[in-house]
Structure 1
Amino acid sequence: MLEITGIHAGYGQMAVLRGIDMRIGPGEIVALLGSNGVGKTTLNNVISGFIVPSAGEVRFDGERLTGRRPREIVAMGIAQVPEGRKVFPNLTVAENLELGAFRRAGARKRQNFDRICAIFPRLSERLEQLAGTLSGGEQQMLAIGRGLMSEPRLLILDEPSLGLSPLLVEEMFALVTRINAEGVAVLLVEQNVMQSLGVAGRAYVLEQGQLVMQGTAAEMLADPKLRQAYLGL
Structure 2
Amino acid sequence: MAKSTLYGIGVNAQDVENIAMALGCKSGSLPILYLGLTVGSKLKKLNDWKPVIDKFNTRLTGWKARSMSFGGRLILIKSVLSSLPLYFFSLYRAPTGIINLLESMRRKFFWGGAGDSSKMAWVKWDDILVPYESGGLNVGSLKAKNLALTSKWWWHFRVESGALTLFGRSEADRVHSLLASVSLNNGSPDTWKWALNDKGHSKTSIMASEMDEKLLQNGYQPSETVRNKLAPKKIEIFAWRAIRRRLPT
Q: TM-score range by the shorter chain?
A: under 0.3
User: Which has a greater percent of helix?
Assistant: 2
User: Which has a greater percent of strand?
Assistant: 1
Q: Which has the higher contact order (CA 8 A, sep 6+)?
A: 1
TM-score, length of structure 1 as denominator length: 0.24
Bigger Rg over Cα: 2
TM-score, length of structure 2 as denominator length: 0.23
